[in-house]
Structure 1
Amino acid sequence: MRQNKIITLILTLLTAGNALAAEADTLKVVDVEEVLVIAAPKENRKLRELPAAVTLLSQQDMQAAQVNSIKNLTGLVPNMFIPDYGSRLTSAVYIRGIGSRINTPSIGLYVNNIPYIDKSAFDFDYSDIERIDVLRGPQGTLYGRNAMGGLIKIHTRSPFSYQGTDFRIGAGTHNTYNASLTHYHRASERFAFSTSGFYDYEGGFFRNAALGNKKIDKTRATGGRFRGIYLPSEDWKVDLNVSYEYSDQGGYPYYYTGSVNPAAQSEELKPYIGTISNNRESNYNRNLMNTGLNLEYQAQRFTLSAVTGYQFLKDRMFIDQDFTAKDIYTLEQRQRIHTLSEEIVMKSKGNGSWQWTTGVFGFYQWLKTDAPVVFREDGMSMLQQMLGGVIPAKIEIPMGPGMGLNILPSLRLGSSNLLINGNFDTPLLNGALFHQSTFKDLFGVAGLSFTAGLRLDYEKIKMDYDSGTAMDYTVGIKGEMTRGGQVIREMEMMPETALTVHSRYQGSIDKDYLQLLPKFALQYDFKNNRGNVYATVSKGYRSGGYNIQMFSDLLQYSLQNDMKRQTKEEVLKAIENSPGAAYKDMISGKFPDAGENPDARSATEYRPEQTWSYEAGTHLNLFGNRLHADAAMFWLETRDQQISRFAGASGLGRETVNAGKSRSFGAELALAAALTTDFTLNASYGYTYATFKDYVTNARVNGELQEISYNGNYVPFVPKHTLTVGGQYIFRINPGHWLERIQLNAGYTGAGRIYWTEGNNISQAFYGTLNGRISFQKGRGQVDLWVRNALDKDYAAFYFESMGNGFMQKGRPIQAGVELRCRF
């Protein structure tokens, strides 16, 4: 009886009215830019008419490819790779050999024309997204900092062009559930709004062997969005966007692959090789709110827009930083970010021979980070060994023929934990002026155009830091009188004395810089909208900054130096009143001197990364728009490339370093074809050859620091090949039937080879995953059956090395589910 009720409910929803999404029944590839009218404050023409490599994804494309977050774009866009690892804290986006794991992004992100400055906000829910545009290559002239590899533009649906209520509910294996509800309402000819809410839950995919095989990557997220558009007059538009999202997840399901040096493999950790074995549970939660106000004025000859954005992010990460069954150390990081941005853009209207865009942009970001590190029981043992150099193991003093004095110092840490506090304020100010002009029908040649642009970008970064620790320890000295090498008397020269050492870094540093970001493009447009060919030269940059993660490493060095200094003073003071007083100077010379503590600026600062890009390509519309073809070749020269790695000296904290120079070149091809009205195919391929040209640094090899050259090695996290092949077929059933049509979608996406380290000693060979969906549609409803990674491909999504150990995160296994969509 219950089953019959469920079937009745589904059939009721399926027969609610018209098609959920109208599809063009013409024999051509649907032009996303014609179907979806998107307000673009900077571009004068459609994206496929510009001299740039672009990929456009409609909402139907995203449903077919099962794109529900930014990390699902890997492979769908040629030469784009976004590893799905860790948590939503960071989204490492790589395009054409350009990308970043930590700190500032290399790929820009805009949502409804609002910039998302920090990549901690990149990974959010896509339930009501209408369209995604991905521009590859530097977009610095119009979009400035951190768009040196490309730009992702995300758009939600306009309530003026779409009305009704969309409901979605789904479930899948691995205890996956989701639901969303979005209402679009046009209240009058002047005002329309949309409001939405969603809830997602994932039961987890990976188990932790050190915590009773408990699933450690469960995720839940909830939130909503409001968009209101008001048209005060025919010339003005006010567009307000507000979104909020809360997510709470476990994370960091890293498999322990063993010691990088097999000879140094820990016997204690051997049983955990090939498993996830964090002894402490890690998690990440985030509150994210974004608000944007777009004001647009349509004059007779130009469009003026003012875009104001505000973003608030508050999050907390707790992580077992050694990622093993040992209890070495943990990190807690709390961020609080407020970002206020403003952009005013004026651009020409019409299809005249001179098209131009000019504007001013600025933002200010308040970022406060609290990042305490705690060394646990096994970590204190490690520190005990490291601090063994604070005092000599034994001092032998000759006292006469056959006589001698042995000095035996001892040092013992006084607690089982060590807390290193870290509080950082890193405000950021950016301002820019930009202009770009396009001259059409150059030299009287119809279709020939030249584009030139320049941006002046100013940035000031500052870091107020306060990081310190205090450690209790005990020092004692015993003496042994010897005759003929035999101990004849023992004496206590310094009883065990409890001491406390304090180490602290506190201060403020800042820097600023200017960047000029030019762009030049030559383009020829074929007649009758058949496409274009182009050549583009442009510059982009990724901003510099500070490695706040390095302060725990700095404090370890300063702690050792401060202990050397304090211990020597206390020992010499005690010896003055002992039988060894006469040998005070000799004993003093045997104690190591304290060195200079590392400088915070030189240890934490990294420079901006810059790239020049040279690109030639084409956008073609062939066979009466039945085939869209996009192709490009590129060459990028990058200077001061920023590389993320664990600190070379200790292997603990992560840092960004400048890697000298690198070079990236390759090609891309994307095809979309309508073979029949109901049968469409798409394919894309990207090739990137990215190598270091000048990168010599210090690295730990078999436990020792050595100078090593990575020149000629592949840049990590850059797949050499990306591939997507997909298709869609629609079975149409007679009108009036209980089922109107069945839609089949299948896609194969692959990437590789991917090198994970600068040494190129660990890599993931080319791999691919197969996704599929079958959709049963009736009126305003549809039921989808879907599968991801249908072949259950086993592959590495991420790999890194820390403290001499290797760790890998696997890609998600096969997953299947059902989803119900309907519109009221």
Structure 2
Amino acid sequence: MKKNILFLILLGQYTYSQHGIVKDSTKNNQLEEVIVTANKVEQKNVEVPVAVTSISSKGILDSRLVNYSDLTGRIPNYLYQGSGVGFQSINSIRGIQVFSYNPAVSVYVDDVNSLDIMAGGFELTDIDRIEILRGPQSTLFGRNAMGGVINIFTKKPTNKTTGFIELENGNFSLQRYSAGVKFPIIKDKLFFGLNGLFQKRDGFMKNDIKGTTTTDTSLNGRTIGDEENTYGNIFFKWLVNNKLSFTANVKHQRDFSNASGYLVSQKSEKIALETPTVINVARIGTHEREITNYSLTAKYQAQSFELTSITAFQQISFLFRNMDFPGYYESFYRSSIGEKLPTQNVWTQEIRINSAKKENKFQYIAGLYGFKQISYDPTSNLAYELSPSNYVIYRNKRNNSGYAAFGEISYRLFDKLKIIAGIRYDIEERESIFNGFGDAVFVGGVFTQIRPDLEKSVKYNAFSPKASLIYSLNEKSNIYATFTRGFRAGGISSQAVPVGVRQDYDPEYSDNFELGYKTNFWNNRVNLNAAAFAINWQDLQFSNLVAPTTYSMENVGNAYSKGIELEANIIPLKGLQLDFAYSINDAQYKDFDLKRINFISGTQITTPIGGNKLSNAPKTTFYTATQYSIQTSEKVNLLFRIEFRNIGGYYTDIQNSLYQPTYQVVNTRFGLNYDNYGLFLWIKNLTNEHYLFYGSSDTSLRRSSVAAMPSQIGVTLSARF
């Protein structure tokens, strides 16, 4: 049965356009131009010398794209690795990924940067478009964009009054309810927008205490991974005059679970792949995260230039209790086990100016950026339980700040040839207040500081150049060559390390060389993008065990990644939308060794890493599907969609011992729209494929995995006006 289903899907080969703004295929059989903001100004995708995929609002709705994992395979050389909760995850692009607290792929939501991985995981609802830029983007986007950028834009209010209600129910007790409204308060002057979401579902893993330290049989059969999310998004937009505008935005999200998947995993990949619904924990944990983004965007449109200011303030609070890691962990900072950590605060400010006359041969963009962050890393602000009333305390407070100046110019040398050059210079200061193992304890409800906290500060700078040539074959076809450099910030290890071990670590860098071709033809019924790339990844940051229970972040070595990427949209006939994406990636670590200390024997264990495949870098990704829309009457439209994804085998760990074999995922969605109402049935992972959602990045001491969700089925009822 499974083979027959996959065979039928492969006959289809293509799907509804995911790469831009596409008109309703029942009224038009052409693809519209794809508009992206890869260079922080609106441009046609065909004119941008960057590999970028843009998914339109209609594409998001038609494919039910509700989380980042839905991008795996759909975006060439993109892999999402979850760790049990949406706000701690790994985005890998072309094999460039994170092994520390700073992300390697920057995520922006309405121009506000998620500065570290605790700031990720905003719910995807009422989205206007999603852009994924592949390869380093540090010249315009700064730190932590060395793998690429995910740009998410939510819908803004206009003169038109609009609204929606969407109700979803599915297995695993899924409830997902969202609604929104946008309208002008004063036409052509003042606008308001509001949307929100409530989501709740049970985890799919069932607990079995066999092999754990507990005898509490009441924990058997309890689900693990339950989560409840509440999200709200408010906009005010004021058009002061035809030149000046202000947009104020507040986003708030609360993530809660009393059967938490945070820091929880299955004991091995064998268990995760063979019995994905079974987990063994001695305690069932709780977590709660709240994140609030405040932003104010001001734009001034003059005749020859545009001035933009983006001011943002972000707050994050977090707590967790009874995490079985193994060993038992609770959040702690001042006075009580499982307390809410102090609020993380991030201030950012960007001011930029760009040319406004697109017809000029000379174009420019220039700007200044600054940030200040006070953070409390949850993995190093915790209590480790030695006995029910005896804890070792880890503490860490970080004060980080950074400043940058950036600019990019382009000049059309001839009618068909344009040259682009960009530069960015970043200065970053990091300060950390931290302790070591045994420096503080919490015994019998009393906190005792045995040794004073330590302090260390460092300062880094980074130079991020960019150079491109783009040649227009005709009005709808371009070829380009681009060099870009990316960097990921250095830092200070979160625990005190032994004498002789360096406490801080340097930034990472990546140099990307890319050749690309973009075109659309057949009367705008076909879009085709192709890219070839080679990346040198330098000074990889990786966590090393340097003393009992003490890890140090170190620059361990270099790596490379090279490959090709293909994307296409096709409208062969009215109502039929076809699309595919394919990539090949050859990525390896260069010659270096990973060192571990065996504290029982006192000997050093050296593992050669050079020549190993880059972790979380599938050899291939392939996406193909078909969507067909049939207008049966003036008000009734039927829609049928089926997707197929093939993710090539890859290792999750740097030692290349934890392997995820090639797997396939099939998704379907079909139903009808009657006037402004919709009713759809959807299935994710139709064939119930078993594969890993997460695997250990380091298996020298422990193997752990998290299985992907089994088949999900649900119904969506919506109304739009």
Cα gap change, 1:190 to 1:502, in 2 (>3 Å):
closer
Which of 624, 637, 644 is the matching residue for 1:741? 637
- Once the two structures are TM-superposed, the CA of residue 46 in structure 1 deviates from its matched residue by 2.8
Q: Identify the match of residue 484 of structure 2 among 520, 530, 538.
A: 538
- The alpha carbon displacement at 1:680 in A equals 1.1
1:459 is aligned to 428
Structure 1: runs of 5 or more not aligned: 1-20, 261-271, 378-415, 474-500, 555-597
Query: 8 Å contact 1:95–1:149 — kept in the other structure?
Result: yes
- 1:434 alignment partner, one of 381, 406, 411: 406
Structure 1 residues 638, 724: closer, same or farther in 2, change over 3 A?
Answer: same
- Cα deviation 1:385-422 (Å, max 9, x = unaligned): xxxxxxxxxxxxxxxxxxxxxxxxxxxxxxx7642222
- Matched residues in 2 for 1:77 and 1:804: separation? 33
Aligned to 1:688: 585
Does structure 1 conserve the Cα–Cα contact (< 8 Å) formed by 2:38 and 2:133? no
Query: Counterparts in 2 of 1:87-166, with a 5 A limit?
Result: 87-160=85-158, 162-166=160-164
Check the 8 A contact 2:159/2:188 in 1, yes or no: no
Report the AA paired with residue 178 of structure 1: R
Of 640, 653, 656, the match for 1:760: 656
Amino acid at match of 1:109: V
Q: CA deviation at 1:659?
A: 2.4
CA distance in 2, matches of 1:184, 1:63: 18
- For the aligned residues, what is the CA RMSD? 2.7
In structure 2, what is the equivalent of residue 793 of structure 1? 689
Q: Residue by residue, what CA displacement relative to the aligned partner does 1:465-494 show, whole Å, maximum 9, x if unpaired?
A: 245446899xxxxxxxxxxxxxxxxxxxxx
Distance apart, 1:700 and its partner CA: 6.2
> Letter of the aligned partner of 1:459 in structure 2?
E
* Greater Cα radius of gyration, structure 1 or 2: 1
Would the alpha carbon gap of residues 290 and 698 (structure 1) be closer, same or farther in structure 2, given more than 3 Å must change?
A: same
Give 1:547's aligned residue.
493
Given that 1:168 and 1:822 are in contact with CA atoms closer than 8 Å, whether structure 2 keeps it comes out as yes
Shift of 1:42: 2.8
Match of 1:491 in 2: none
**Map of 2:298 onto structure 1:** 295
CA contact (8 A) 2:392 2:442 kept: no
Question: Is the partner of 1:61 in helix, strand or coil?
Answer: helix
Distance between the aligned counterparts of 2:590 and 2:374, measured in 1?
36
User: For residues 659 and 689 of structure 1, do their structure 2 counterparts lie closer, same or farther at Cα, with a shift above 3 Å needed?
Assistant: farther
For residue 162 of structure 1, report the CA deviation from its aligned partner. Answer: 4.9
The answer as to 2:720 corresponding to 1:809 is no
Work out whether residues 649 and 705 of structure 1, in 8 Å CA contact, stay in contact via their aligned partners in 2: no
> Closer, same or farther in 2 for the Cα pair 1:277/1:26, shift >3 Å?
same
Letter in 1 for 2:173: N
Equivalent residue for 1:245?
253
Range with greater deviation from structure 2 (79-88 or 794-803): 794-803
Report SS of the residue matched to 1:120: helix
**TM-aligned CA deviation for residue 759 of structure 1:** 1.6
Is the 8 Å Cα contact of residues 283 and 317 (structure 1) preserved in structure 2? Answer: yes
Cα drift, residue 696 of structure 1: 1.2
Q: Distance in 2 between matches of 1:248 and 1:507?
A: 33
* SS in structure 2 at match of 1:60: helix
2:15 match: none
Structure-1-length-normalised TM-score: 0.77
Distance across 1 between alignment mates of 2:144 and 2:161: 36
Check whether the contact 2:282–2:324 (CA below 8 A) recurs between aligned residues: no
Equivalent positions of 1:231-630 (< 5 A) are 231-249=239-257, 250-252=260-262, 253-257=264-268, 275-318=278-321, 320-323=323-326, 328-332=327-331, 334=341, 336-350=343-357, 351-369=359-377, 371-377=381-387, 418-440=390-412, 442=413, 445-466=414-435, 468-469=438-439, 503-504=450-451, 506-528=453-475, 530-548=476-494, 550-551=495-496, 598-599=498-499, 602=501, 604-630=503-529
Query: For 2:556 and 2:620, how far apart are their aligned partners in 1?
Result: 23
When the two structures are aligned, how many residues end up with a matched partner?
A: 665
Residue type at the aligned position of 2:305: F
* Runs (5+) with no aligned partner, structure 2: 1-22, 210-218, 333-340
TM-score scaled by structure 2? 0.87
The aligned runs of 1:576-725 (5 Å cut-off) are 598-599=498-499, 602=501, 604-644=503-543, 647=545, 650=548, 652=549, 656-699=553-596, 705-725=604-624
The structure richer in helix per residue is 1
C-alpha distance in 2, partners of 1:722/1:230? 44
Tell me the secondary structure at the aligned position of residue 590 of structure 2.
Answer: strand
Secondary structure of the structure 1 residue equivalent to 2:143: coil
Identify if the C-alpha distance between structure 1 residues 368 and 221 changes in structure 2 by more than 3 Å, giving closer, same or farther: same
1:748 deviates by 1.3
1:73 aligns with 2:45: no
Secondary structure in 2 matching 1:504:
coil
Does the 8 Å contact 1:721/1:766 carry over to 2? Answer: no
SS in 2 for 1:526: strand
